[in-house]
């Protein structure tokens, strides 16, 4: 894990009127790292993701991805050219398609112009789809969705849909994924599956992660390093051990 960080953000600022949602925050994610981003409600975590991922323009600051300055790039361009993907707090899947189809289509996102190539006739298209199916099945197994892989995504539970969304993000071979509360509102059994899927993608495919999560047990378990925001500012940064022992973090977030 040497060399340039995969993501390097410096002096990020984003205000909404008088609210300084993100106030001069600098943060990096090392290549191959799973990094946590935590903090109280309204501390600016999602806004930080909005600015980093190109959804919103920050008023100041620079964003570098894999050594390249991508400040001001759109969400689409960052996803397609930068291979940095983000999830949202709200889950979105193709409800009418089955689990496997959801993943295969996600795998086509940046390589072919549209659905025609997915279902297009010809040996190349068929071989490509078969390779995507193989990859999809690997993620489906890890995510614990094997038994429901031919069911429409819309018929599955909210937690299972979160897992589909997560597995779909792995299909286009991203370098870095920003996850916004991937465990929120799902039961402990499925939380385990999300954790396993993150570990698998990280270890087998070298995907780096920045994860916003309120479940502190999970964050301290999977992350090598954690950054804490409070009222838009960076309050602390360190190993899980350092963070849970940090008095300022305990007072602002962990309950004394």
Q: Which of 6, 25, 35, 46 is the binder for ligand ATP (CB under 6 A)?
A: 46
Residue tagged 């899927």 (tokens):
197
- Taking the C-alpha atoms of residue 47 and residue 27, their distance in angstroms, rounded to an integer, is 14
Stretch touching ligand ATP by CB under 6 A, among 35-43, 127-135, 162-170, 197-205: 35-43
Nearer to ligand ATP by C-beta: 44 or 182?
44
Nearer to ligand ATP, 18 or 121 (CB): 18
Pair 207, 19: CB distance under 8 Å: no
**Cβ–Cβ < 8 Å for 136, 103:** yes
Q: Minimum distance between the CB of residue 47 and Mg ion, rounded to whole angstroms?
A: 8
Q: Is 158 left (phi over 0), alpha (psi -120 to 50) or beta?
A: alpha
Going by C-alpha positions, the residue among 105, 103, 99 that lies closest to residue 117 is: 105
List the one residue from 2, 18, 41, 188 that touches ligand ATP (CB under 6 A).
41
Q: Note whether 161 binds ligand ATP by CB under 6 A.
A: no
- The region of 13-21, 95-103, 122-130, 150-158 touching ligand ATP under the rule CB under 6 A is 13-21
Q: How many residues bind Mg ion (CB under 5 A)?
A: 1
208 binds, among Mg ion, ligand ATP, none (CB under 5 to 8 A by kind): none
Contact window for ligand ATP (CB under 6 A) among 44-52, 100-108, 189-197, 220-228: 44-52
- For ligand ATP, the closer of residues 143 and 218 by Cβ is 218
Give the x-and-dash track for 36-55 against Mg ion (CB under 5 A). Answer: ----------x---------
Shortest Cβ distance from residue 42 to ligand ATP (Å)? 4
Q: Which of 7, 36, 45, 66 forms a contact with ligand ATP (CB under 6 A)?
A: 45
Quote the CA–CA distance of 144 and 155 in Å, as a whole number.
16
53 binds, among ligand ATP, Mg ion, none (CB under 5 to 8 A by kind): none
- C-alpha 66/C-alpha 82 separation (Å) is 8
Burial class (CB in 10 A: 0-12, 13-18, 19+), 153: buried
- In DSSP terms, 29 is beta-bridged to 7
When CB distances are held under 5 to 8 angstroms depending on the partner's kind, the choice from ligand ATP, Mg ion, none that residue 21 binds is ligand ATP
Return the number of the residue (44 or 61) whose C-beta is nearest ligand ATP. 44
Q: Name which of ligand ATP, Mg ion, none residue 47 binds, using a CB cut-off of 5 to 8 Å depending on partner kind.
A: ligand ATP
Query: 53, 178 in Cβ contact below 8 A?
Result: yes
Binding site for ligand ATP (CB under 6 A): 16, 19, 21, 39, 41-47
Binding site for Mg ion (CB under 5 A): 46
């Amino acid at each position: 894990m040497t060399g340039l960080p995969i993501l390097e953000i410096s002096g990020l600022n984003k205000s909404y009127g008088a609210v300084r949602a993100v106030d001069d925050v600098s943060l990096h994610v090392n290549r191959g790292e799973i990094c946590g981003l935590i903090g109280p409600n309204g501390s600016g975590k999602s806004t930080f993701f909005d600015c980093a991922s190109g959804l919103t323009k920050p008023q100041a600051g620079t964003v570098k991805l894999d050594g390249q300055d991508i400040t001001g790039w759109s969400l689409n361009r960052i996803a397609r050219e930068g291979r940095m993907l983000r999830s949202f707090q709200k889950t979105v899947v193709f409800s009418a398609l089955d689990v496997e189809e959801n993943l295969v289509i996600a795998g086509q996102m940046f390589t072919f112009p549209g659905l025609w190539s997915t279902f297009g006739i010809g040996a190349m298209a068929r071989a490509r789809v078969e390779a995507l199916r193989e990859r999809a099945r690997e993620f489906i197994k890890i995510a614990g969705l094997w038994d429901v892989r031919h069911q429409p995504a819309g018929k599955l539970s909210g937690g299972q849909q979160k897992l589909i969304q997560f597995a779909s993000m792995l299909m286009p071979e991203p370098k870095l994924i920003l996850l916004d509360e991937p465990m929120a509102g799902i039961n402990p059994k499925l939380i385990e599956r999300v954790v396993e899927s993150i570990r698998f993608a990280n270890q087998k495919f070298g995907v780096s992660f920045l994860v916003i999560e309120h479940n502190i047990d999970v964050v301290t378990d999977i992350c090598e390093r954690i950054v804490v925001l409070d009222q838009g500012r960076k309050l602390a940064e360190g190993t899980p051990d350092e963070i849970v022992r940090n008095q300022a973090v305990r007072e602002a977030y962990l309950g004394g």
